[in-house]
Amino acid sequence: MNVISPLAELEAQQFPLVQSCVFPKTITTSDDVHKASAEAERRIDTHLLACSKREDVYRVVKAFAARGEWVNAEAKNYTQALMRDFERNGLNLTLTKREEMQRVRIQIDELSLQYIQNLTEDSTFLLFAETELAGLPPEFLKSLDKVTDGKFKVTLKSHHVGAVLELCEVGTTRRMVAVAYGKRCGEVNLSILEDLVQLRHKFARLLGYSSYADCAVDLRMAKTPSKVFEFLEDISNSLTDSATMELSMLKDLKRKEEGDHPFGIEDLLYYVKKAEAQQFNVDFGALKQYFPVNLVLSGVFKIVQDLFGLRFEEMTDAEVWHSDVCVYSVFDLSSSELLGHFYLDMYKREGKYNHTCVVALQNGALSSNGSRQIPVVLMIAQLQKDVSGHPALLRFSEVVDLFHEFGHVVQHICNRASFARFSGLGFDQDFVEVPALVLENWCYESFTLKLISGFHQDITKPIKDEMCKAIKRWRCSFSALKMRQEILYSLFDQIIHSAENVDIVELFKHLHPRVCQC
């Protein structure tokens, strides 16, 4: 009661205060507020880092842990988590090693920031004539800058690269873009990555691990890199026959369209899309007309409420940061107990964070006096608003994103952990995405699709049964090739962080072709 419980209550109380300073940068339209929020986060992080090095607190927690007098399993887990955090900051090491750890950590942070900054600031572009961009829609071409000779500038930003690799009919264009994208910031970032890997190994060895992979995986379910390698290889081997068959189909398509040119990684997206169009007859452009924003949103609310026994009740008098924001109280349907609050900020606006995500504003927790602090969560989306009486329409991928993020909302609101640390969204990295991924499944069921869809000019007409079945079949198309690609990237990550002095370029050359050779 005088060691662990006060630390737990401090965590529960300070988290929403910290978030009230940090989250404004994701939703504000003001540069001043964004800068102030970012600066607040920097100062808070500095303070929390100092707290993590409090040797006096560590010694007291360690002494309590040594006695083994646990109130319950959750309290034991919390105490062990405190110990682990302190010791991962080197408090069980000598002062010399601790200071060395700090120097290495600063170097890692600086290099990581530089790596990302180099990619963010990269302004490389390629020039193409209109004929070289055949297959790309007119609205995309209109969005591109032109140079004096009429050629279009294609940058190496993901939205340009993705469009070209998926839609461009000219194989040489796709290849040029894919190669340039793969090589962006090449020499400078390759050097940074090599230094980063060595520093991560050094950091891990100071903590007593043989490699950085050992250090990272020790906190996960797998526990050892060897288990990860075994897992990845088992899945990869089981996919070989399916991936070979899928790749053969794509190669045949390319041969018919482009002749006997070799099939490369740059061809995957384009020919997968073409094969899916032939096999499943799913026109995602036309499908969009069946997903008006408000209809989809009301359908998602109904499904979530029915599945989990919840009631969402809008709070009309809540204080919000923008008129678009809605706030809901969430109740248990059977007992009417208030479980938490949910902020929904779903429409695009200038300056707002540009991705769909869920942010915890307050974690649930049980106080020492028996009262419960309820969870509060924010969902940010980037949906279009209705314009001039025309309903805003969602792409199917945006519908899936909504279901996914609602999974995180439910996970946060319904968590009944006693400690704020365990009720947060990101504590257990092995589990954090599971509820969201499970909820995505409902996007592929006919009953759900009919509930959330309706033709935008007559919402009483949902999508037809044949389309529902086609969407469900489409979901699994070319899944072996897609998963094999992810596995190879995972293997690359595990290998460079499991051994010293790996030649990163040669390793990538060895692994990358396996996607297209199976």
CATH of domain 292-452: 3.40.390.10
The answer to whether residues 296 and 493 touch, using CB atoms and an 8 Å cutoff, is: no
Residues 6+ apart with CB under 8 A from 65: 79, 80, 83
| Two structure tokens written together for 266 | 């740059």
Q: Look at residue 374 in the predicted model and tell me its pLDDT.
A: 96
Residues 305 and 307: their CA atoms lie apart, in Å, by 6
Q: Look at residue 309 in the predicted model and tell me its pLDDT.
A: 96
Given 87, 337, 405, 506, the catalytic residue: 405
Please report, as a single letter, which amino acid is at residue 477: S
**pLDDT, tens digit, for every residue of 86-99?**
999 999 999 999 99
Average pLDDT, the chain: 92
Residue 52's SS3 state is coil
For the cut 90, the answer to whether the pLDDT of residue 390 exceeds it is: no
Block residue for tokens 């662990």: 4
Residues 6+ apart with CB under 8 A from 435: 407, 408, 410, 411
For the cut 70, the answer to whether the pLDDT of residue 516 exceeds it is: no
Question: In the annotation, is 11 catalytic?
Answer: no
Residues 491 and 496: their CA atoms lie apart, in Å, by 9
Of 513, 493, 504, 490, the C-alpha closest to 187 is 504
**pLDDT, tens digit, for every residue of 264-281?**
989 999 999 899 888 887
Average pLDDT over residues 41-70: 92
| Two structure tokens written together for 123 | 């302004």
The pTM assigned to this predicted structure is 0.87
Count other Cβ atoms within 10 Å, centred on residue 31. Answer: 9
For the cut 70, the answer to whether the pLDDT of residue 518 exceeds it is: no
| Two structure tokens written together for 494 | 């595990």
Domain residue spans of the chain: 123-184, 207-283+465-518, 292-452
Of the chain, the end-to-end C-alpha distance in Å amounts to 59
CA dihedral 263, 264, 268, 272 (to 10 degrees): 0
The answer to whether residues 480 and 243 touch, using CB atoms and an 8 Å cutoff, is: yes
Average pLDDT over residues 477-489: 91
**pLDDT, tens digit, for every residue of 237-249?**
999 999 999 999 9
Residue 517: band (very low, low, confident or very high) from pLDDT cuts 50, 70, 90: low
In degrees rounded to 5, what are phi and psi of residue 13? -80, -35
Average pLDDT over residues 232-236: 92
Please report, as a single letter, which amino acid is at residue 35: K
Residues 100 and 95: their CA atoms lie apart, in Å, by 9
Pinpoint the alpha helices (H) of 122-224. Answer: 138-143, 158-167, 171-183, 186-206, 212-217
The answer to whether residues 170 and 134 touch, using CB atoms and an 8 Å cutoff, is: yes
Q: How many Å separate Cα 372 from the centre of its chain? A: 30
Q: Look at residue 108 in the predicted model and tell me its pLDDT.
A: 95
Tell me the pairing of strands 326-332 and 338-347.
antiparallel
Q: When comparing pLDDT for 248 and 513, which is higher?
A: 248
